[in-house]
Amino acid sequence: MPQHVARADRSRAIPFDAAKLDRLMEAAHLDVLVATSKHNVQYLLGAERAIFFDYMDALGVSRYLPVLVYPKGAPEKAVYIGHRLETHQRSVAPPWVAQVRTESNGSVDAVTRAVSLIRDAGVPLKRVGVEMAFLPMDAGQALVDALPGAELKDALLVLERLRAVKSADELAKLKTASELVIASMLEVIAGHGPGTTKQQLSDALRISEANRGLTFEYCLLACGNSHNRAPSAQRWEQGEVLSLDSGGNYHGYIGDLARMAVLGDPDAELKDCLAEIEAVQRAAFAAVRPGAMGGDIYVAAERQLAQITQRDCTEFLAHGMGLVSHEAPRLTAKGPIPYDDTDARLPLEPGMVVSIETTMKHPSRGFIKLEDTVAVTATGYEIFGEGGRGWNLGSSAL
């Protein structure tokens, strides 16, 4: 057998709810789904991302483009086209897909090979769902050329609804990611003191997360009375607050949390500010339960916001978390990332995961924030990574 053709593992169950995907595709009037984003391919394939391309896409004169083709109602005819450089990885852990071909050399090549294989399987190709935001122009044109007369439609919402409710395995990964991010933050806070630059703190957090098995994604941090959250040469000094907001990725799933620290003992004003933020967070948590409308989270948070003394400089945000930051459930159309608030008018379901964050941009004390990852359970909610919610003390205060 050629090295670039992997044998599918027929003993492996399909890792997602195929019946749900079929229903979503039927409602969207799709015959076949062509997934090309690394996160959705990971989800549908039920396998880790290609190791060589985890951090980059560009290679030579083209780019890495994984292509998974799923025909509605016929998972046995699914096709996966990967790059030659992931051959060994797919051989070690063969996925469930019937045809796994690790033989592509670029974006156009990957799409062309996928279409050829799926056409040979006799799959209807009149209404094709694609990821418009994750399909390069050259590959998109190749798809149009290979399927004359086909209607290409954006499948973003189909895949969003499929991923909106997490499996037990996905929830475990999100919980692990969240707990490891918190542990990393607390280590960095405890190990640094006066004179440490924001760049040094960001670098230390990167190393701490990596040492715990996370892929570091970002660190937004502010200190002193500044609201600027970019790593820089600014120093964290005695008496000043520090805000750490970081995303740590565990096998593709993102832990996104924010915690506070101070060099020295927090005074009464700082304690009051963080207590007001905590009150808003707790009010929002209390609205998280199966069957409640997604918008109830905002109603509860905004009711509490109206009661705090620093309401004029404090804002609230709730958004979905998983393989992507700001994925479904989508709860507001007024947040910093533009999208429709579809889930504000839909009931929350067990397995949905929401990031809940309250931010105070205090005019004299600085940037004060808490962000938590919260899962909807059968009876209410569970906070992932609940530690470090108060004023954590930098090394000078130990």
Using pLDDT thresholds of 50, 70 and 90, give the confidence band for residue 176: very high
Judge whether residue 308 has pLDDT over 50.
yes
- CA 233 from centre of chain: 29
- Residue whose pair of structure tokens reads 């990611």 in the numeric block: 177
Joined together, the tokens standing for residue 304 give 């509490």
> What are the CB-based long-range contacts (under 8 Å, 24+) for 216-222?
216/246, 216/248, 216/249, 217/246, 217/247, 217/248, 217/249, 217/254, 218/246, 218/247, 219/244, 219/245, 219/246, 220/244, 220/245, 220/246, 220/258, 221/245, 222/198, 222/366, 222/367
Which H/E stretch holds residue 237? none
Judge whether residue 398 has pLDDT over 60.
no
Using pLDDT thresholds of 50, 70 and 90, give the confidence band for residue 231: very high
Question: Over the chain, what is the mean pLDDT?
Answer: 95
Helix-helix angle 156-163:18-27, to 10 degrees: 150
312, with CB counted inside 10 A (0-12, 13-18, 19+), is exposed
Give the pLDDT confidence score for residue 8 in this predicted structure.
Answer: 56
Q: What's the mean pLDDT in 193-202? A: 98
Percent of the chain having pLDDT more than 90? 95
Give the pLDDT confidence score for residue 55 in this predicted structure.
Answer: 87
Q: What's the mean pLDDT in 353-361? A: 98
- Residue whose pair of structure tokens reads 């969240």 in the numeric block: 178
Judge whether residue 152 has pLDDT over 70.
yes
Give the pLDDT confidence score for residue 195 in this predicted structure.
Answer: 97
Please write down the HEC assignment for all residues of 67-82. EEEEECCCHHHCEEEE
Task: Provide the total of helices (H) and of strands (E) in the chain, helices listed first.
Answer: 10, 19
The rounded distance, in Å, linking the Cα atoms of 222 and 201 is 10
**Residue 242 bridge partners (DSSP):** 223, 261
pLDDT, tens digit, 9 for 90 and up, residues 44-53: 999 999 999 9
- DSSP letter string over 185-203? HHHHHHT--TTEEHHHHHH
Rounded to the nearest 5°, which phi and psi values hold at 117? -70, -40
Short-list 108, 213, 56, CA closest to 116 = 108
Give the pLDDT confidence score for residue 4 in this predicted structure.
Answer: 58
Name the DSSP class of 327: B
pLDDT, tens digit, 9 for 90 and up, residues 259-273: 999 999 999 999 999
Q: What's the mean pLDDT in 173-179? A: 98
Provide the 3-class DSSP secondary structure of residue 54: coil
pLDDT, tens digit, 9 for 90 and up, residues 75-133: 999 999 999 999 999 999 999 999 999 999 999 999 999 999 999 999 999 999 999 99
Longest dimension (CA), the chain: 71
The CATH fold assigned to 5-163 is Creatine Amidinohydrolase; Chain A, domain 1 (3.40.350)
Give the pLDDT confidence score for residue 7 in this predicted structure.
Answer: 56
Q: What's the mean pLDDT in 365-377? A: 98
The rounded distance, in Å, linking the Cα atoms of 43 and 226 is 40
Rounded to 5°, angle at Cα 223 from 217 and 227: 85
- DSSP letter string over 266-291? --HHHHHHHHHHHHHHHHHHHT--TT
Give the pLDDT confidence score for residue 12 in this predicted structure.
Answer: 79
Which H/E stretch holds residue 366? strand 366-376
Does the structural domain 168-397 have CATH classification 3.90.230.10? yes
Give the pLDDT confidence score for residue 384 in this predicted structure.
Answer: 98
Joined together, the tokens standing for residue 165 give 């409710």
Torsional class of 68: left (φ above 0), alpha (ψ -120 to 50), beta (otherwise):
beta
Q: What's the mean pLDDT in 155-167? A: 97
- CA 366 from centre of chain: 28
Give the pLDDT confidence score for residue 9 in this predicted structure.
Answer: 58
pLDDT, tens digit, 9 for 90 and up, residues 235-244: 999 999 999 9
**Residue 136 bridge partners (DSSP):** none
The rounded distance, in Å, linking the Cα atoms of 68 and 82 is 9
**Residue 32 bridge partners (DSSP):** 71, 128
Tell me the whole-structure pTM to 2 decimals: 0.94
The rounded distance, in Å, linking the Cα atoms of 392 and 241 is 10
Q: What's the mean pLDDT in 204-232? A: 97
Count of CB atoms situated within 10 Å of the CB of 43: 22
Q: What's the mean pLDDT in 305-333? A: 97
Judge whether residue 1 has pLDDT over 50.
no
pLDDT, tens digit, 9 for 90 and up, residues 273-297: 999 999 999 999 999 999 999 999 9
Domains in the chain: boundaries: 5-163, 168-397
Joined together, the tokens standing for residue 296 give 């109830």
